[in-house]
Amino acid sequence: MRTDLFDFELPPGSIALRPASPRDSARMLIVNPDGVLRDRVVADLPQWLEPGDQLVVNDTRVIAAQLRGRRIGRDTEPKIEVTLIKRLDGSRWQALAKPAKKLSPGDVIRFGNEGRVCLLGHLDAQVESKGDDGEITLSFSFHGPTLDQAIADLGSPPLPPYIASKRAPDERDAADYQTMFATNDGAVAAPTAGLHFTPALEMALKQRGVAMRRITLHVGAGTFLPVKTEDTSGHRMHSEWGSISAATAQALNAARVAGGRIVAVGTTSLRLLESASTEDGAIEPFSGETDIFITPGYRFRAVDILLTNFHLPRSTLFMLVSAFSGLEAMKRAYAHALESGYRFYSYGDACLLFRDKSKV
CA separation, residue 355 to residues 88, 173, 303, 304 (Å): 36, 33, 8, 6
Give the pLDDT score at 111: 93
Same domain for 302 and 271: yes
What is the C-alpha separation between 241 and 286, in angstroms, rounded?
10
Residue 215 lies in a domain: yes
Same domain for 35 and 151: no
Same domain for 179 and 74: no
If you ran DSSP here, which 8-state letter would residue 174 be given? Answer: H
Q: Please list, in sequence order, all residues whose beta carbon lies within 8 angstroms of the beta carbon of residue 158, skipping any fewer than 6 positions away.
A: 62, 64, 65, 66, 83, 84, 188, 189, 221
Same domain for 275 and 251: yes
Residue 228 lies in a domain: yes
Residue 48 lies in a domain: yes
Give the pLDDT score at 119: 52
Same domain for 185 and 45: yes
Number of other residues whose CB lies within 10 A of the CB of residue 322: 22
Residue 43 lies in a domain: yes
- The last residue of a domain, from among 104, 123, 155: 155
Residue 160 lies in a domain: no
- Residue 221 belongs to domain spanning: 3-62+174-359
Rg (CA), the chain: 21
Residue 15 lies in a domain: yes
DSSP-derived 3-state class of residue 142:
coil
Give the pLDDT score at 115: 44
Give the pLDDT score at 358: 59
Same domain for 142 and 97: yes
Same domain for 193 and 107: no
DSSP-derived 3-state class of residue 137:
strand
Same domain for 85 and 53: no
Give the pLDDT score at 86: 85
Q: How many domains does one find in the chain?
A: 2
Q: Pairing relation of β-strands 60-62 and 79-87?
A: unpaired
Give the pLDDT score at 70: 94
What pTM was estimated for this model as a whole?
Answer: 0.90
Same domain for 341 and 268: yes
- The last residue of a domain, from among 126, 155, 184: 155
Same domain for 274 and 253: yes
Low-confidence ranges of the chain (pLDDT < 70): 113-121, 223-225, 357-360
Same domain for 86 and 47: no
Residue 191 lies in a domain: yes
Residue 163 lies in a domain: no
What is the C-alpha separation between 91 and 202, in angstroms, rounded?
38
Same domain for 47 and 83: no
CATH classification at residue 305: 3.40.1780.10
CA separation, residue 69 to residues 38, 197, 311 (Å): 48, 35, 31
Give the pLDDT score at 223: 67
Q: Angle at the Cα of 264 (from 317 to 60), degrees rounded to 5?
A: 80
- The last residue of a domain, from among 121, 155, 189: 155
Q: Which residues pair with 99 in a beta bridge?
A: none
CATH classification at residue 89: 2.40.10.240
